[in-house]
A and B are shown apart, each in its own frame.
Chain A
Amino acid sequence: MGMASIPDSLIFEFLIRVPVKSLSRFKCVNKFWRSLISNPDFIYTQLQTTKTLINHHDHSSSSNCLIISYLLHDHDHNHTTVHFYTIKDHHDPSAFLEFSAQVTYDSYHFLPPCNGLLCFYSARAGIYVCNPSIKYIVRIPDSIAIRCRLLSCGLGFDQYTRSYKIIRILENVAADHDDGLKIEVLTMGINSRTKKMINGGFRFPNRQPPVYAICFFYWINNNSGCNSNSSGFFIQSFDIGSEKFGIIQFPEKVSGKDWRLFSLEELGGELCLVDLDFEMEGKKRMDLWVFKRSSWFQETILHPPEPLDATRPVAFHG
């Protein structure tokens, strides 16, 4: 008898409690175990359990770490290597090379991590998603839409279906300007990726990748021409669960400002609008507008010694 007739639900409970190195090995046990361990729901639960265990137990031996990515370009062999380093211990800052992967030769834009996964992309080479803890990297298949070029993408997590979703913004290379952008939403499943295509009506004026903050993607959109005045500009939201669009107006106080000096960020799980348009004050001020429970909350940061020209807050998890 013994463990032979154990129910699948209990196997799940055992596996979420073992380290990722064991998991990568156990993928080879049989097909059922492989699909169980590769399931996004499992990955999410394992991550949450590990986090809880880390909080409750021993901090020093935890796998809690900072991941740093580093690109190395090899022009001769026409490829780029991405290195993932981790710093596991605050007291020992030496970086440990966790994982390297070869990708198409290009320069890449890295998105902030989302629930343990990292995403990076370039217009030419496409989108890669990586789970550095299990040393797994996958290239997302290109869009089949014709005459389209990748502008940007975002990686988010649907907490209800526990699946990761990628939003991909595509530009029609034949069109004159921003009109006719296409949006694709991809769900990363166990073995397949379902895709939903949304056409037209979207602009993407500041080219900043969509920001993911708990259940939504956000980016700046406009409904008129391309003047730099913030009238006509708004924040486009996309609900990852219901896949529906919404609109958030800028705070009233910023109307008339130069939207090109705005950026969107995620701060502690909340959407945050950063306003750096303070020419009159010698650019020594930055306003953070945090969007909480459907209203904007203003926080002003003054930095008297130097202009805040190129400063943008770095997102964090609170």
Chain B
Amino acid sequence: MSTAATADASSSGDTTEGSVRLLTLQSEDGEVFEVKETIATQSVTIKGMVDDDCATSTIPVCNVTGRTLAMVIEWWNKHEIGAVSNEKELKEWESQFDTIDDKSDRDDVYDLLMAANYLNIPTLLDCCTSAVAEAIKGKSTDEMREFFDIKSDFDEKEEDALRKENQWAFEN
């Protein structure tokens, strides 16, 4: 896994190998990734560490598993400034997040969201939150409670009154 990510990073045709710094990221479950600094600094958190000269040794990425971190690195590679010229290909790749009703998709998006939130990656965060918004916008209140696993704390009377007040939103 780690070697694949390294290969991916260096095979993108960079000829100025010497001047490109590699950062070492370590996932919560111990997987190690080497990533070009220019790519990893799409994360505001990592950029801050680089700017403060705190990125000299291995950077622990807590709360993010190796599986998720590999997905994040794939995102970075595809979104590196100047790296992707094929807008269509990028859109196609992003479209896999469009439908997240399936449980496993939902878990993937959840993992990516938490990683994007923790590492502060605005583009990825925007993509994932939009995907969730798209998935939830047509849901009923009960479906929303199920989706986010939350319980109603309204009593029956309150909920009836609220539904009445917002009746138009429950009609087709």
Contact = CB atoms under 8 A, between A and B. Distances in A.
A31 B162 CA distance: 11
A14 B163 contact: no
A9 B151 CA distance: 19
B168 A24 contact: yes
B140 A6 contact: no
B129 A14 contact: yes
A120 B129 CA distance: 36
Interface string A16-47: 01110111111111110010000000000000
B168 A6 contact: no
Interface of B: 103, 106-107, 110, 113, 117, 125, 129-130, 132-134, 136-141, 144-145, 147-154, 159, 162-163, 166, 168-170
A280 interface: no
Interface of A: 1-4, 6-7, 9-11, 13-15, 17-19, 21-31, 34, 135
Nearest 8 Cβ contacts at the A-B interface? A17-B133, A24-B169, A4-B149, A25-B169, A24-B166, A13-B129, A18-B137, A22-B137
A13 B162 contact: no
A251 B115 CA distance: 57
Given A25-B166, A27-B166, A135-B168, A3 B129 contact: no
A3 B162 contact: no
B165 to A, nearest CB: 8
A10 B113 contact: yes
B166 A2 contact: no
Contacts, number: 84
Contacts of A10: 113, 117, 129
Contacts of A31: 153-154
Contacts of B134: 17
Given A10-B129, A28-B162, A3 B147 contact: yes
B110 A18 contact: no
A17 B129 contact: yes
Given A17-B130, A22-B138, A29 B166 contact: no
Nearest to B106: A2
B169 A21 contact: yes
30 contacts: A1-B107, A2-B103, A2-B110, A3-B106, A3-B149, A4-B148, A9-B117, A10-B117, A10-B129, A11-B148, A13-B125, A17-B129, A17-B130, A19-B137, A21-B169, A22-B169, A23-B169, A24-B168, A25-B140, A25-B166, A25-B169, A26-B141, A28-B141, A28-B163, A28-B166, A29-B152, A30-B145, A30-B150, A31-B154, A135-B166
Q: Most chain-B Cβ atoms within 10 A of its Cβ — which of A1, A4, A18?
A: A18
Given A3-B106, A29-B150, A30-B153, A14 B136 contact: yes
Given A3-B110, A28-B141, A28-B159, 4 more contacts: A3-B147, A11-B148, A13-B129, A27-B166
